[in-house]
């Protein structure tokens, strides 16, 4: 959410940002916000003037009564009563205007970083760099669920009976591999100086609207019926929410946290939810990283975060590349974003396994995450990135470590988490 003062003083910049994000349908929101803001400020001004008048007259009433001027005092009391009625009306108008203005402002996209390439959708994202040599072996790479089935490691049919499409049972070596990857990712981030955290898996609506756009909320979040609670779609939601309505000491920054959680997503409008396998599902687990820092430090941390994911995947012998997300592919709260994609030998192309985002002060403004420094109080910047999200990451792992005989190599870094195994063998 951008600053209303910025919008008031730079309406054309806000409009141009909407055009760059191919959101021309939102252009009328700029004028609507300006009109609501003007009305809101006018109501505040009139209310303040009435309060000042009330205080002045109240003092006069006391003086008039002391002088025995009861008739004049009664007239003054009538004026105070009339002002009180108008003041109550204005306070209600203020509340309504403030709520309307907030709703409009939360729909206006954040100003994107000047370095973001302009493009309409993810087909126009720009490759930045490749890490590792993508290899296509001279033997067939089966579909990932078929690889898992050779280890008796997945049961989609039973999951479908129990919970429906988009769920799965992982078992045996595949389930152990899943847990090993999560544990390795946890320790990998701890070794890089991040504080490990397990957050709440449900959050209140004010946190939901503080961390994401309305469109994301509708497409992703599961609501707990009868309660003001939502299941998290990623631990970033509750981790950023941890700092809601706080004033943080500048010298304590940055906060660098890595968090584990299950994640729940409706995947509304997603394609392929009913396809075989575990690429796009309603429930999964993830290791996340978040940073809360000073504004001037967020570009540095943005680069550190995506590099962490690249380094982790390379330590598991998985080639990856980074893509700069274009303007049209950025969610409304994001200033800049880079996707990390892993190589798929079966498909002979890369696919997304993580996304690193700098949200500037958007979440901090909504959640009132402030920093107290020598020169006053200001809003923090927040960033997040996926460390690893199995089972999608398992797809890349299995394909890139599969041998011709069907066994799967366990990279050295992961062996301590797999009981020292160097391979998992076909059942």
Q: Are 336 and 355 in contact (CB under 8 A)?
A: no
Can you give the residue ranges of every domain in the chain?
4-105, 122-424
Q: Cα separation of 317 and 399, whole Å?
A: 11
Strands (E), 313-396: 320-324, 336-344, 349-358, 369-373, 376-379, 381-388
Q: Cα separation of 142 and 406, whole Å?
A: 10
pLDDT of residue 413: 96
Domain range 4-105, CATH architecture: Orthogonal Bundle (1.10)
Nearest to 113 by CA among 360, 361, 390, 419: 360
**Helix %, strand %, coil % for the chain, to 5?**
45, 20, 30
Residues in the chain: 427
Q: Are 30 and 8 in contact (CB under 8 A)?
A: no
User: Rounded to whole angstroms, what are the CA distances from 43 to 33, 39, 377?
Assistant: 15, 6, 27
Name the token pair of 312: 């982790």
> Tokens 């973001």, residue?
116
pLDDT of residue 273: 45
Q: Are 263 and 201 in contact (CB under 8 A)?
A: no
* pTM for the full predicted model: 0.89
Q: Which residues of the chain have pLDDT under 70?
A: 62-64, 66, 73-74, 268-276
Handedness of CA 40, 378, 327, 394 (dihedral sign): negative
Domain range 122-424, CATH architecture: 2-Layer Sandwich (3.30)
Cα three-residue angle 296-302-305, rounded to 5 degrees: 140
Q: Are 421 and 410 in contact (CB under 8 A)?
A: yes
User: Rounded to whole angstroms, what are the CA distances from 191 to 152, 178, 195?
Assistant: 34, 20, 9
Ramachandran assignment for 188, one of left (phi > 0), alpha (psi -120 to 50 degrees), beta (any other): alpha
pLDDT of residue 133: 95
Q: Cα separation of 382 and 256, whole Å?
A: 10
């Amino acid at each position: 959410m951008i600053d209303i003062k910025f919008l008031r003083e730079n309406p054309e910049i806000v409009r141009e940002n909407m055009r760059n994000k191919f959101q021309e349908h939102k252009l009328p929101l700029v004028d609507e916000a300006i009109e609501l803001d003007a009305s809101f400020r006018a109501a505040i001004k009139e209310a303040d003037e009435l309060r000042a008048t009330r205080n002045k007259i109240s003092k006069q009433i006391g003086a008039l009564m002391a002088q025995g001027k009861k008739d004049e005092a009664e007239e003054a009391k009538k004026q105070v009563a009339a002002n009180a009625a108008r003041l109550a009306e204005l306070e209600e108008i203020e509340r309504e205007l403030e709520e309307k203005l907030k709703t409009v402002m939360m729909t206006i996209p954040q100003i994107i970083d000047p370095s973001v390439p302009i493009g309409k959708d993810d087909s126009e994202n720009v490759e930045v760099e490749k890490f590792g040599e993508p290899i296509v072996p001279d033997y067939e790479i089966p579909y990932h669920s078929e690889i898992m089935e050779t280890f008796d490691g997945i049961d989609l049919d039973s999951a479908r009976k129990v919970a429906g499409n988009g769920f799965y049972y992982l078992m045996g070596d595949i389930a152990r591999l899943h847990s090993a990857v999560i544990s390795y990712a946890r320790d990998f981030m701890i070794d890089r100086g991040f504080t490990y955290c397990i957050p709440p898996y449900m959050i209140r609506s004010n946190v939901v609207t503080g961390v994401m756009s309305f469109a994301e909320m509708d497409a992703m979040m599961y609501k707990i019926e009868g309660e003001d609670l939502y299941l998290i779609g990623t631990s970033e939601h509750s981790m950023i929410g941890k700092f809601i309505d706080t004033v943080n000491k500048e010298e304590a920054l940055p906060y660098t946290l890595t968090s584990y959680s299950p994640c729940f997503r409706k995947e509304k409008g997603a394609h392929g939810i009913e396809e075989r396998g575990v690429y796009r599902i309603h429930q999964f687990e993830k290791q996340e990283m978040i940073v809360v820092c000073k504004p001037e430090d967020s570009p540095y941390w943005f680069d550190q975060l995506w590099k962490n994911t690249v380094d982790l995947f390379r330590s598991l012998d998985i080639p990856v590349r980074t893509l700069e997300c274009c303007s049209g592919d950025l969610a409304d709260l994001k200033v800049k974003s880079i996707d990390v994609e892993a190589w798929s030998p079966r498909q002979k192309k890369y696919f997304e396994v993580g996304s690193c985002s700098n949200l500037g002060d958007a979440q901090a403004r909504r959640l009132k995450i402030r920093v107290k420094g020598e020169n006053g109080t200001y809003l923090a910047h927040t960033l997040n990135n996926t460390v690893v999200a199995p089972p999608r990451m398992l797809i890349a792992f299995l394909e890139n470590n599969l041998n011709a005989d069907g066994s799967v190599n366990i990279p050295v870094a992961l062996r301590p988490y797999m009981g020292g195994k160097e391979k998992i063998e076909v059942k």
